[in-house]
Chain A
């Protein structure tokens, strides 16, 4: 064991002697700012639903840093959520929009109890998700080989989510065309749409073009619920109506005074990251 050389200061003994962010400091700061957009005013901005930075979030991809002597926090920066913007569809074609509107409208239908998925903006949410990093398979391993595997081995498609949706919509419309007296899913009666969705859910319906019906349905239902219940910055959960329906008041910071008030309704108004109606517009 090499004993620490007491004749030298710890800094001199260390291979890297800079007191703060050392390896290319200027580069580190610059790229960090790109990734972590300035959190001022309305933090939530985005470019057509795709995050502005082309850098891998969270793991490999940022520049290497050597840190010694202090915490390298930079004032004025934050890893703010990406959010979405715009109102036009940028991923789905009109035919695909017709499918998604029809299908999510059956997965979560509208009635006086609460909003349907269409009314909550789930189609728009899915469009931005599939146009963005999720659709491109960020946080999916898609390398080969691609045997089908067992149920227990989970997702085993070569498709990323955007490819899977695109292929599945086409394949489902093909199935409808050869099975029903209609050309596309959106043209079916609601009860026939439910039959098709149940067949996808159980895997009873086999689809063409390499689409596993159960795999697609599981992802589609999950993503639909995500759009229905996530913060409105992602384009769904319009007016926080899905939260209001169940009684979730949004992401409040402090419930301490309500911890011991057992059985009482918490009267806080529902709030999202961008506030709520009633907050003064900035």
Chain B
């Protein structure tokens, strides 16, 4: 029997980026805010100090900061005809847990989506015809919001992080040195771009020579010290090369810990409970209002926490599962196309090109999570797709996140995976090779979705989430085209040889690809096509808000974090401006 606690104004379910942003904003508005985090407390000095943070075995391969799938995992299959089986070990994506969650062990790659990315359906329909958005059973949609609407909130996140970069479009004027394809920015980046090491510099020169438009990747690894509007100081990055999968010991990577928590944790009207996992959102009998959440702590004690507002701020896969477990919104049925919860699950379509030099010493261990020179010429609708047979695109990055030797040794085509030949290739090429990353979009598809597994259960006895996903023909065509464009830049660098790692075959859960899972709680302009409105408010239960990349109706060719943060700030702004005065649906249909 759950113990009933005193009510709060707002409860956050999960305490990563969106939980911290919403808690900061809603406590600023005077609300009594509680955050429930299933994992432990984590702070820089204790949990990832510089003396031991750069430990490839412990963090990358033994998953020390990640969700432990022994307690909770999901089941996976490629299509409806297969039996979904549990992901028994993390692989393709590395799920977060604990305070800060994925915001602790991300790379700090800060991108805005293109204006046209928010109108995937209507934009492509207009330019390429109706078939372009329905071919291959695609189910792409418009977002119900726009770049212009979100721009002030992208800007707010840049200021929070102190993002290092060079604007390419300031209020409509194209700027030299930046990304000429980006949407207009209201402000220059808060700090200048990172200085590039050898390999990204070579990439930039070669890309410019063949007529592309290279620019420095915007980074949450800071080029210089910065004090953000909340008074938190972030340090200059030292290029140690341990960002993704690791916590930053140097206070140089934007994370909830470095940007928000120093301010938020001091507030009297904010409380955090760790090791407390929310089991479900409780609803009134008519299912039109949430009364609070039921959670269980690590001691096995169960509580009911009454709340006026419930903010689902866990990772996309948890948010969608909580919606399904709580009966909020109609579950999606891929056979009929009806229902919305779980619909349009998407991912990211990744490939790469390895570049090998004979005599250039690249020192790949000098790196940072977003330290790269990039071209955006073939992303979104920045190029003519006429006759190509796909929509979407990718950025191509000459990127050196680090040179961690278990993960990041590249060997030429034909090299065996072990034996003397492998060892000699590793010894010869480690300092002289790097990889171009092709970071591609992933459109939504009728058969790709999330629901509850009929067989497997977590340690609390709840059904696991079931993921049904595969790359579609649209994604394969896009990825092949983009990998060829990356190879052009690679060849223009005049290396000894290159190796193309194409995205081929069905989606495989084992090799790491990227932790950019999207969809399942998608946003839109009406309840028939979406789970939440443009303020991330549930159409069905208006005092429930679902944060995160679950709101993406399909995924663009960029890293999602800045868009996730902008959507959260947009939601918080509207809650503060309108909802608190008059709780109820923020969009009428």
Give chain A's interface residues, CB within 8 Å of chain B: 1-2, 4, 9-11, 13-16, 23, 36, 39, 43, 56-74, 77-82, 106-109, 111, 113-114, 133-134, 137-143, 145, 147, 149-157, 194, 197, 201, 221-222, 224-226, 229-231, 234, 242-243, 245-249, 251-256, 258-260, 262-266, 273
A155 touches B88 (CB 8 A): yes
B366 touches A266 (CB 8 A): yes
Please, which residue of chain A has its CB at the minimum distance from the CB of B241?
Answer: A255
* Nearest 10 pairs of A and B residues by beta carbon: A251-B54, A10-B268, A10-B269, A246-B430, A230-B57, A64-B297, A262-B198, A254-B238, A15-B6, A1-B583
Cα A74 to Cα B45 with chains together (Å): 9
Cα A255 to Cα B430 with chains together (Å): 18
B77 touches A155 (CB 8 A): no
A65 partner, pick from B31, B41, B198, beta carbons under 8 A: B41
B197 touches A259 (CB 8 A): yes
B283 at interface, CB cutoff 8 A: no
B387 at interface, CB cutoff 8 A: no
Residues of B within 8 A of A154 (CB): 87-89, 91, 508-510
- Given A14-B269, A255-B240, A255-B366, residue A152 in contact with residue B65 (CB < 8 A): no
Cα A1 to Cα B584 with chains together (Å): 9
Please report whether the interface of chain B is mostly helix, strand, loop or mixed according to DSSP. loop
- Identify the interface centre among B269, B360, B403, B580: most chain A CB within 10 Å of its CB: B269
Residues of A within 8 A of B262 (CB): 71
- Identify the interface centre among B40, B87, B266: most chain A CB within 10 Å of its CB: B40
B288 at interface, CB cutoff 8 A: no
B57 partner, pick from A23, A66, A231, A248, beta carbons under 8 A: A231
B430 touches A248 (CB 8 A): yes
B285 at interface, CB cutoff 8 A: no
Question: How far does the Cβ of A48 sit from chain B's closest Cβ, in whole Å?
Answer: 18
Please, which residue of chain A has its CB at the minimum distance from the CB of B509?
Answer: A154
B268 touches A62 (CB 8 A): no
Question: How far does the Cβ of B454 sit from chain A's closest Cβ, in whole Å?
Answer: 12
Please, which residue of chain A has its CB at the minimum distance from the CB of B510?
Answer: A154
B7 at interface, CB cutoff 8 A: yes
Cα A230 to Cα B82 with chains together (Å): 38
B587 at interface, CB cutoff 8 A: no
- Identify the interface centre among B65, B69, B82, B89: most chain A CB within 10 Å of its CB: B89
Residues of B within 8 A of A39 (CB): 49, 51
Cα A260 to Cα B583 with chains together (Å): 55
B426 at interface, CB cutoff 8 A: yes
Residues of B within 8 A of A153 (CB): 76-77, 85, 87, 509
18 contacts between A and B (CB under 8 A): A13-B269, A39-B51, A58-B97, A60-B459, A65-B41, A67-B265, A68-B265, A70-B265, A109-B420, A145-B455, A152-B505, A154-B510, A155-B89, A248-B430, A249-B365, A265-B363, A266-B363, A273-B55
Question: How far does the Cβ of B554 sit from chain A's closest Cβ, in whole Å?
Answer: 22
Cα A152 to Cα B266 with chains together (Å): 47
Residues of B within 8 A of A73 (CB): 43, 45-46
Please, which residue of chain B has its CB at the minimum distance from the CB of A152?
Answer: B508
Please, which residue of chain B has its CB at the minimum distance from the CB of A27?
Answer: B299
A60 partner, pick from B38, B273, B405, beta carbons under 8 A: B38
Number of chain B interface residues as a range: 35 or more
Cα A251 to Cα B53 with chains together (Å): 9
- Given A67-B273, A107-B419, residue A246 in contact with residue B70 (CB < 8 A): no
- Given A14-B268, A107-B419, A251-B55, residue A67 in contact with residue B62 (CB < 8 A): no
B46 touches A78 (CB 8 A): yes
B415 at interface, CB cutoff 8 A: no
A4 touches B30 (CB 8 A): yes
Please, what's the 1-or-0 string for B221-247, where 1 marks a CB less than 8 Å from any CB in chain A? 000000000000000101111100000
B89 touches A247 (CB 8 A): no
B424 at interface, CB cutoff 8 A: yes
Cα A199 to Cα B455 with chains together (Å): 35
A68 touches B268 (CB 8 A): yes
Please report whether the interface of chain A is mostly helix, strand, loop or mixed according to DSSP. loop
B32 touches A149 (CB 8 A): no
A141 partner, pick from B45, B70, B360, B423, beta carbons under 8 A: B70
Cα A150 to Cα B456 with chains together (Å): 17
- Given A143-B86, A150-B78, residue A258 in contact with residue B52 (CB < 8 A): no
- Given A65-B41, A113-B424, A143-B86, residue A234 in contact with residue B366 (CB < 8 A): no
Residues of A within 8 A of B196 (CB): 259
A140 touches B70 (CB 8 A): yes
A64 partner, pick from B71, B265, B298, B423, beta carbons under 8 A: B298
Residues of B within 8 A of A242 (CB): 405
- Identify the interface centre among A39, A109, A248: most chain B CB within 10 Å of its CB: A248
B361 at interface, CB cutoff 8 A: yes
A225 touches B406 (CB 8 A): yes
B287 at interface, CB cutoff 8 A: no
A265 partner, pick from B5, B69, B361, beta carbons under 8 A: B361
B507 at interface, CB cutoff 8 A: yes
B88 touches A141 (CB 8 A): yes
Please, which residue of chain A has its CB at the minimum distance from the CB of B580?
Answer: A1
A68 touches B299 (CB 8 A): no
B420 touches A111 (CB 8 A): yes
Cα A39 to Cα B89 with chains together (Å): 30
- Identify the interface centre among B52, B67, B417: most chain A CB within 10 Å of its CB: B52
A139 partner, pick from B34, B89, B430, beta carbons under 8 A: B89
Cα A107 to Cα B507 with chains together (Å): 28
B172 at interface, CB cutoff 8 A: no
Residues of A within 8 A of B77 (CB): 153
Cα A4 to Cα B30 with chains together (Å): 7
Known: A81-B55, A154-B87, A255-B363. 4 other contacts (CB 8 A): A10-B268, A60-B39, A70-B266, A229-B405
B488 at interface, CB cutoff 8 A: no
B419 partner, pick from A72, A106, A151, A225, beta carbons under 8 A: A106
B333 at interface, CB cutoff 8 A: no
Residues of A within 8 A of B57 (CB): 226, 230-231, 234
A252 touches B68 (CB 8 A): no
B98 touches A58 (CB 8 A): yes
Residues of B within 8 A of A67 (CB): 41, 265, 271-274
Residues of B within 8 A of A252 (CB): 240, 365
B308 at interface, CB cutoff 8 A: yes
Please, which residue of chain A has its CB at the minimum distance from the CB of B269?
Answer: A10
Cα A73 to Cα B208 with chains together (Å): 49
- Identify the interface centre among B43, B98, B273: most chain A CB within 10 Å of its CB: B273
A11 touches B239 (CB 8 A): no
A139 touches B70 (CB 8 A): yes
Please, which residue of chain B has its CB at the minimum distance from the CB of A231?
Answer: B55
B365 touches A263 (CB 8 A): no
Residues of B within 8 A of A259 (CB): 195-197, 239, 366
